[in-house]
Amino acid sequence: MKKSLYANWKMHKTKREAESFFAELNHVGHKSVGVACSFTLLETLALHAPRLGVTVGAQTISEYGHGAFTGEVSATQLKDVGVDFVLIGHSERRHLFGESDEKIGKKVERAICEGMDFLLCIGETLEERENGHTESVLKRQMEAALESALEDQLKRMKIAYEPVWAVGTGKAASPKMIDETHELIRQVLKEIYTEEVGDRTPILYGGSVTVDNLEEILAESNVDGALVGGASLDALNFNQMIQMIED
């Protein structure tokens, strides 16, 4: 499977900073590269995306459709400004903004209804891993998120395994642990759906990925790509990472 690379600009860039990033970013060719950014930068990114060859991502999506929902940004609006994919269930949304499994399930349903590609982020806390609950936590998160998703709608989904203890901490999971956990995620997909869904769903790793550890993480057979936060903010760094994925 072709490996993909996604940036998650969770540190808020201004429009000017985003423009200078795009000016320094090399064209990515036929590689599969996406950038997820704040709502305010989406139009700027969408403007540069065709020239750069990247896809455009929002960092969350409203679970509601058209209606009176002050402050929410709907899927229709995201598509209108050129968004190709959305992140759903990022650990910061779950833990800092209290997004429940149920809410994340509704967001997945909305993305599917609107025909949008999505990266479903899942991951356990350190306490959950240390107490041997990783499997049950990931399973619970996946079952809730995919409750209403039919098998053929999952072609729009990639899973991003992001252990909470590795996100933004500088402590990435080891390649072996990542590979084993991705295998476990495939097994859960096979249990909920079919062998084929488990085998074909791309599973990315995220959590303190850097230029120094990306290559060894991507070398694992169950890793189909990476979701990079802090280390994706610098264009020269990100250019180096792009070079490491296959064409």
Residue 207 binds ligand PGA (CB under 6 A): yes
Q: Would you give the distance in Å from CA 236 to the centre of its chain?
A: 21
Residue 181 binds ligand PGA (CB under 6 A): no
Residue 4 binds ligand PGA (CB under 6 A): no
Q: Quick one: 73 or 233, whose CB is closer to ligand PGA? A: 233
Q: Quick one: 197 or 209, whose CB is closer to ligand PGA? A: 209
Strands 32-37 and 55-58: parallel
Residue 89 binds ligand PGA (CB under 6 A): no
Tokens of 76: 């229709």
Tokens of 30: 């036929």
Residue 226 binds ligand PGA (CB under 6 A): no
Catalytic sites, residue numbers = 90, 162
Q: Quick one: 94 or 103, whose CB is closer to ligand PGA? A: 94
Q: Shortest CA distance to 65 belongs to which of 116, 117, 102, 10? A: 116
DSSP 80-143: HTT--EEEES-HHHHHHS---HHHHHHHHHHHHHTT-EEEEEE---HHHHHTT-HHHHHHHHHH
78 within 8 A of 60, measured Cβ to Cβ: no
CB of 67 to ligand PGA, least distance (A): 30
Q: Map residues 145-164 to x or -, x wherever contact with ligand PGA holds by CB under 6 A.
A: -----------------x--
Residues that bind ligand PGA (CB under 6 A): 8, 10, 162, 167-168, 206-209, 227-231
